[in-house]
Amino acid sequence: MSGVTTSWLPLAPILVPLGMGILMLAPMGRRARAGLALAAALLTLLCSALLLSAVWNGAVLVSELGAWPAPFGIVMTADRLGAFMSVLASVSALLATWAALVNPDPARERHHLFTLMAVLFAGVQMSFLTGDLFNLFVAFEVMLVASYALAVLGSTREQLREGFRYIVMNLAASALLVLACGLTYGALGTLNFAHLAQRSAELGPNATVNAISVLLLLVFAAKGALFPLGFWLPGTYPALPAATGTFFAAILTKVGAYALIRVFTTVFTEDPALPQTLLLILGSVTMLYGALGMLSQREWRSVLSFAVVSSAGYVAFGLGLGTPLALRATLSYLAVSVAVTAALFLIAAVAERAAGTRNVRARGFLDERPWLAGAFLLCALTTAGLPPTAGFIAKFALVQAGVQSGTPLAWVAVTCALLASLVTLLALLNVWRGFFWGEATGTRPAPAPRGTRLPAYAASALVAALAVGGGSLLSFTGAAASDLRGDGYVRGVLGTGPVVIPDAPAGEQSDAGQSDAEQPAGGQP
């Protein structure tokens, strides 16, 4: 097929953590295993960065599994959006691995913590790089199976209770997803994203396709923790150990967000009104719900888990607006949100350890940990979206896109976004006042070694770097968003010529004839 650029790169960020994860199953000492885990994270980041540089100019790279070309075999596809998400995931994976390395946890490590994390990373990378709807389901399962194990690894009472809820919710969503895949295949006869896009474009606005897309929206909304479906999140994330929780919070809901972006900008674009309205409504409610939830919590990571919910709302809001400007703002917001969530969860881990309690009202840490206070303030301002942080740039772009869109619903959503930002600021200042302000009370546990704080500072530095590089972030996401609107993705995967479905080989003709003959018979009452 002409015009398809095959490359080994889109598979590399998936295979590296998977292979290293299997290697880490071999019996070895903690030092060797930790070294492998770090090497895997660094190598994955390297592969993702190479991938991003390869698609920087708008190329679409394809890796064919088993050398079967696009609509027939499963392909891994990297356009600017996919490579961008892959880099975000690799960065979070590196931070989470680092945090796991500096906080030894012998019991969990004996039960293959590092392997499970590596498989989780592989599943997330595959979700971002796959070019096939059913393979997306498989990637979700790889990721979720690892996350189920990580959610209950250690078997504390809280983990088992929350893990059960997490597993039930995600199993239900996965069942719905595989159902939606089946319906999609039944309606359009393909599962490849590019081929789906082509066929749904040929079909034009269609009620069946609409129904399927709304079903997919519900599934991804559950994975992305939008309002009524995200109830499991604020309980599950605080129950996790710090390093794992950081990766969960930073990336797992973003996988749902990415799937929404991919499906509603690349695949089902013919009749966007209904999904966009739904996304705007869900997004508005989620933003406010998350912000108010933050205000109601008194423990570090419970507050931050609601911040994750709120950020899912902003992504849905941007996606619901649907204009190129809004899409650019959404992608920028995704990057900022991933970095700041990772940073905040790492800061929370340091803070919990320093205070010896999960409660935020430990008081007086401004003197003891001035750098931590600075990092927290930066991240709090970024989350709330105040200048001069990257959060301001992203939220300003979102609100600007909402105002430009100008429909009544968009105005409601903009109001919700601003209100939610204000409440978020209030909630995070409460944390600031409770933890850093005032006179120290009670006894502190022995201070943890300095190395345990480095991941949090590195993540905060990344947040600061995003603010400095805000302009180039916006120009890159603008380019990625404009990719999504053209047919570059479809041409990059399927080639420039039309897709030719070959006739069935002679041996199978009789089977096809039989099933054709059975269909009318089945339809008769």
Partner 1 sequence: MSGGRKGRAGKRPAARPGPAARPNALTDVGDPVLRVVSRAAFALVMLLTALLLWRGHNAPGGGFIAGLMTACALILHRVANGRCALNFPPLTVVPWGLALSFTTGLVPYLLGRAYLKSDYGYVSTPLTGEFEWATALLFDVGVYLIVAGSALHIAYELIDVNPRERVEDDR
Is residue 344 part of the contact set for partner 1 (CB under 8 A)? no
- Minimum CB–partner distance for residue 151 and partner 1 (Å): 14
* Sign of the C-alpha dihedral computed for residues 133, 136, 141 and 147 taken in this order: negative
- Stretch of 16-24, 212-220, 230-238, 504-512 contacting partner 1, by CB under 8 A: 16-24
Q: Measured from the CB atom, is 65 or 179 closer to partner 1?
A: 65
Q: Can you tell me which of 4, 18, 55, 466 binds partner 1, judged by CB under 8 A?
A: 18
The whole-angstrom separation of Cα 186 and Cα 216 is 15
CB atoms within 10 A of CB 364: 17
- Stretch of 13-21, 50-58, 137-145, 217-225 contacting partner 1, by CB under 8 A: 13-21
Token digits of residue 354: 């320093």
CB atoms within 10 A of CB 411: 13
Is residue 157 part of the contact set for partner 1 (CB under 8 A)? yes
Residues of span 159-188 touching partner 1 by CB under 8 A: 160
Q: Point out which residues pair with 77 in neighbouring strands.
A: 62
The whole-angstrom separation of Cα 371 and Cα 109 is 30
Is residue 47 part of the contact set for partner 1 (CB under 8 A)? no
- Minimum CB–partner distance for residue 21 and partner 1 (Å): 9
Is residue 66 part of the contact set for partner 1 (CB under 8 A)? yes
The whole-angstrom separation of Cα 512 and Cα 106 is 58
The whole-angstrom separation of Cα 188 and Cα 203 is 9
- Minimum CB–partner distance for residue 25 and partner 1 (Å): 4
State the DSSP string of 389-430.
SHHHHHHHHHHHHHHHH--HHHHHHHHHHHHHHHHHHHHHHH
Is residue 11 part of the contact set for partner 1 (CB under 8 A)? yes
Is residue 19 part of the contact set for partner 1 (CB under 8 A)? yes
Q: Measured from the CB atom, is 158 or 518 closer to partner 1?
A: 158
The whole-angstrom separation of Cα 371 and Cα 378 is 11
Residue 458 makes CB contacts below 8 A (sequence gap 6+) with 95, 98
Is residue 235 part of the contact set for partner 1 (CB under 8 A)? no
- Minimum CB–partner distance for residue 154 and partner 1 (Å): 7
Helices and strands per DSSP (H, E), number in the chain: 23, 3
- Minimum CB–partner distance for residue 66 and partner 1 (Å): 4
Q: Are 275 and 170 in contact (CB under 8 A)?
A: no
The whole-angstrom separation of Cα 156 and Cα 174 is 26
Q: Can you tell me which of 64, 79, 132, 352 binds partner 1, judged by CB under 8 A?
A: 64
Q: Measured from the CB atom, is 25 or 168 closer to partner 1?
A: 25
- Minimum CB–partner distance for residue 11 and partner 1 (Å): 5
Q: Can you tell me which of 1, 15, 211, 377 binds partner 1, judged by CB under 8 A?
A: 15
Task: Put residue 226 in one of left, alpha, beta given phi > 0 → left and psi -120 to 50 → alpha.
Answer: beta
Is residue 132 part of the contact set for partner 1 (CB under 8 A)? no
Is residue 509 part of the contact set for partner 1 (CB under 8 A)? no
Contact positions vs partner 1 (CB under 8 A): 6, 8, 11, 15, 18-19, 22-23, 25-26, 63-67, 154-157, 160
